[in-house]
Amino acid sequence: MKPKVLVTGGTGYIGSHTMLDLLENGCDVVCIDSCINSDTSCLEAIRQLSGVEVPFYQADLCDLGASERVFRDHPDISGVIHFAALKAVGESVEKPLLYFRNNVDSLINILDLSLRYGVKAFIFSSSCTVYGDVQKSPVDENTPWQEAASPYGRTKQIGEQIIRDTLQHTSMKSILLRYFNPAGAHPSGKMGESPINPPQNLVPVITETAIGKRESMTVFGTDYPTRDGSCIRDYIHVCDLAHAHTLALKHVFADRQLSQTEVFNLGIGNGLTVLEIIEAFQKQTGVSLSYTLGDRRAGDVMAIYSDHTKASKVLGWEPKMDINDIVSSAWTWEKNRSTAGGK
Ligand X SMILES: NC(=O)c1ccc[n+]([C@@H]2O[C@H](COP(=O)([O-])OP(=O)(O)OC[C@H]3O[C@@H](n4cnc5c(N)ncnc54)[C@H](O)[C@@H]3O)[C@@H](O)[C@H]2O)c1
* Minimal CB distance residue for ligand X: 12
Active site residue ranges: 152
Q: Cβ 255 to ligand X, closest distance in Å?
A: 27
Shorter beta-carbon distance to ligand X: residue 169 or 219: 219
Shorter beta-carbon distance to ligand X: residue 27 or 70: 70
Q: Cβ 285 to ligand X, closest distance in Å?
A: 21
Residue 339 identity (one-letter amino acid): T
Shorter beta-carbon distance to ligand X: residue 60 or 262: 60
Q: Cβ 234 to ligand X, closest distance in Å?
A: 11
Q: What is the dihedral of CA 219, 290, 13, 94, to 10 degrees?
A: 40
Residue 248's contacts (CB-CB under 8 Å, 6 or more residues apart) are 121, 123, 175, 177, 264, 315
Alpha helices, DSSP H only, in the chain?
A: 13-24, 41-50, 64-73, 89-94, 96-100, 106-116, 151-167, 202-211, 238-253, 274-285, 309-310, 323-339
Interface positions with ligand X (CB under 6 A): 9, 11-15, 33-38, 60-62, 83-87, 102, 106, 125, 127, 179, 181-182, 195, 201
Shorter beta-carbon distance to ligand X: residue 181 or 209: 181
From the list 92, 84, 132, the residue with the least C-alpha distance to 108 is 84
Shorter beta-carbon distance to ligand X: residue 1 or 221: 221
Q: Cβ 59 to ligand X, closest distance in Å?
A: 7
Q: Cβ 35 to ligand X, closest distance in Å?
A: 5
Is residue 86 within 8 A of residue 79, CB to CB? The reply is: no
- The separation between CA 134 and the C-alpha centre of its own chain, rounded to angstroms, equals 20
CB hemisphere CA count around 192 (13 angstroms):
28
How far is the CA of 18 from the CAs of 29, 63, 125, 191, in angstroms?
A: 10, 24, 12, 11
